[in-house]
Amino acid sequence: MSKGEFPGWHGTTIIGVRKDAEVVIAGDGQVSLGQTVIKGSARKLEAMLIVTDGSVLLVSTGAGVVLEPEHGIAAIGSGGNYALAAARAVIDGPDSAEAIARKAMGIAADICVYTNGHLTVERISD
């Protein structure tokens, strides 16, 4: 297989949600190589990172750029856009940050073949 044909790793979908005094970061457990699931219960982050101190939610890129996302939601990785859209759709409702992150990751897992429902959820509050 030539370098141009290598299917590539697909490593992660991560979402961060900040609502009221609660910040939650959730990530799926799937690591894929091409169309093959290598591991379904991994705990990970990738070159782009979602970081928080419990009050501010930031995205740090591999190039050293730090961004504060709009609407209190950041999502990265292969299913990041799906998770972001799902979270933005429900952020103004009554759900907690954790409930929003779980719903958004569930929707991403249903749509993105590189995302699964095996979640690791970390709650950080100030």
What is the enclosing helix (H) or strand (E) of 9? strand 9-10
What lies within 8 Å, CB to CB, of 9 at 6+ separation is: 31, 32, 33
Instruction: For residue 16, give the amino acid letter.
Output: G
What are the structure tokens assigned to 66, written together? Answer: 């730090």
CA atoms within 13 A on the CB side of 52: 25
What whole-number distance in Å separates Cα of residue 113 and Cα of residue 111?
Answer: 7
Does residue 120 have an active-site annotation?
no
Residues annotated as part of the active site: 12
